[in-house]
A = this chain, B = another copy of it.
């Protein structure tokens, strides 16, 4: 028995912890934070606080912050519905491309995490599996090549789109508007005459919608695959 007065002693922690924890709860909390405030809002302290827990509590469920990010990525992969197995390769790949783009727009942080580390989570694997299955080429190397090219394009295109979106949001207007109206630096650069093509793009290019541009680029890749593989 301690000689301290009651008021001096801390309350014993309620061992049945204030809130139960699980990987799912942690990942969902992290995803919500990231959706609302970007990846910067995802710190172990903030995630833990959102669950009424101390930071170190999380280390019982994850070994490192990167693992949490991996889990988040795999969770988003889980949201991506696989293509209809009976669809032809072109329809299937187009479905996958659109699904990935949609997921990335729901979770803008997704694309930032995508290329960073290899994705080996169960949902990621299932996603790759379904994608490979939908092309159904006999030659496995051909299938890999086609899928790889499509995914590379999708990745780059989505990344560009999200980046532009962020820039627009932070300035409050589209890139072209910004450069035309409020970009004195850009104005001056174009005025030097050293960038005639760029100037043409700024002044003559149609500010086309992104979905259309994405589809057009995707069609290049799909057409190319069809040509090379003679299908």
- Give chain A's interface residues, CB within 8 Å of chain B: 4-5, 7-8, 111-112, 115-118, 120, 122, 125-126, 128-129, 132-133, 140-141, 143-146, 148-149, 151-157, 159-160, 162-164, 167, 175, 184-186, 188-189, 194-198, 200-201, 204-206, 208, 213, 216-217, 219-225, 227-228
Known pairs A5-B185, A145-B217, A149-B220 / 9 extra A-B pairs, C-beta < 8 Å: A116-B163, A125-B189, A128-B195, A140-B204, A145-B216, A152-B160, A156-B157, A224-B227, A227-B227
User: When A125-B195, A153-B221, A198-B132 are in contact, do A115 and B160 touch as well, CB less than 8 Å?
Assistant: yes
CB closest residue in chain B, given A190: B125
13 pairs from A and B in contact (CB 8 Å cutoff) = A8-B188, A111-B115, A115-B156, A118-B167, A126-B195, A129-B197, A132-B201, A133-B196, A148-B213, A153-B156, A153-B221, A219-B228, A221-B221
**A175 engages B205 (CB within 8 Å):** no
Question: A117: which B residues are within 8 A, CB to CB?
Answer: 163, 167
- So how many copies of this chain end up in the complex? 2
Q: How far is the CA of A138 from the CA of B101 in the complex (A)?
A: 30
User: When A144-B205, A148-B217 are in contact, do A185 and B4 touch as well, CB less than 8 Å?
Assistant: yes
CB closest residue in chain B, given A142: B216
**A221 engages B163 (CB within 8 Å):** no
Q: How far is the CA of A125 from the CA of B5 in the complex (A)?
A: 42
Q: How far is the CA of A116 from the CA of B153 in the complex (A)?
A: 17
A159 nearest CB across to chain B (Å): 4
A93 nearest CB across to chain B (Å): 12
**A163 engages B126 (CB within 8 Å):** no
Question: A216: which B residues are within 8 A, CB to CB?
Answer: 145, 149, 228
